[in-house]
Each structure stands twice: as structure tokens, then as C-alpha cells.
């Protein structure tokens, strides 16, 4: 089991080093408890997948998606699996992050405070 956990940690580290522009912009605004004092982790392994961002204390996952995710059956299944583990999942388009990050952060903060 130890080898599997090491592989997961290594994969997460690799993903953290390859952020998209939208992920980098989002991370720069939520890291170090900048958003309402809530702590976010990026590229976290949960269940069988790696999520873009998670606030563990509120069990809220934020996925930033490009056009390849439109109408994705795999994403719907993945979200259902994460919900079954007790998480809430929010999907946000990369363009929304780039064009209206303040609005995105306001919506996420509202969800965190629920």
C-alpha cells in the first residue's frame, strides 16, 4: 500500500507543477486562506481521481474545465463518485475564471458559507 500512496503523491506533485492559466489565476486568489479564511488544496487525490481544488473543511471541490469537458459523461460519473464520498462539486469554465474571477470567487465563497 505504501508504494501506491507514494505514486499518488508523486502524481499530485506533477499535476501541481503543470497548472493551466485559469488554474494559476484561481490558485493565486485562494491560496493561503485568502478566500474567506478557507483553506484550499490543489491537485488532491480523492477516491480514484485527482481534483483540481478542494476545501476539505467544507468538503467542497472546485473543478476548472475547458471545452473538452462539455457534456462529458465521464465528468458526470466522476462527480457522482465524489458526491458519494460526501463532497459537493462545483464545475467552472476556464473562460469564466479568466474573464470574471471576482464573480467566480464570490459564488464560491457563498457556497463555502452555506
DSSP 56: G
Number of H helices, E strands in the chain: 5, 4
Query: Can you state the percent helix, strand and coil of the chain, rounding each to 5?
Result: 55, 25, 20
d(CA 99, CA 114): 25
Closest CA to 91 of 57, 67, 54, 61: 61
The total number of structural domains that make up the chain: 1
Render pLDDT for 6-38 as a digit per residue (tens, 0 to 9). 665 565 556 556 789 999 999 999 999 999 999
pTM: 0.83
> Do 83 and 89 form a contact (C-beta atoms < 8 A)?
yes
pLDDT in tens, the chain (114 residues): 566 666 655 655 565 567 899 999 999 999 999 999 999 999 999 988 899 999 999 999 999 988 665 567 888 999 999 999 999 999 999 999 999 999 999 999 999 998
| Cell (9 digits) for 27 | 490558485
Chain CA centroid to CA 108, Å: 11
CATH number, domain containing residue 24: 3.40.960.10
**Which range of residues forms the domain containing residue 45?**
2-112
Sign of the alpha-carbon dihedral angle for 13, 95, 69, 46: positive
Amino acid at each position: 500500500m505504501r508504494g501506491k500512496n507514494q505514486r499518488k503523491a508523486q502524481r499530485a506533485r506533477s499535476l501541481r507543477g503543470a497548472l493551466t492559466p485559469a488554474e494559476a489565476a484561481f490558485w493565486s486568489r485562494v491560496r493561503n486562506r485568502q478566500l474567506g479564511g478557507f483553506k484550499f488544496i490543489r491537485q488532491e487525490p480523492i477516491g480514484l481521481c485527482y481534483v483540481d481544488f478542494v476545501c476539505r473543511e467544507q468538503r467542497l471541490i472546485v473543478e476548472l474545465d475547458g471545452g473538452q469537458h462539455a457534456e462529458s459523461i465521464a465528468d458526470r460519473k466522476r462527480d457522482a463518485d465524489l458526491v458519494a464520498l460526501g463532497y459537493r462539486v462545483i464545475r467552472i469554465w476556464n473562460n469564466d475564471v479568466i474573464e470574471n474571477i471576482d464573480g467566480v470567487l464570490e459564488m464560491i465563497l457563498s457556497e463555502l458559507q452555506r
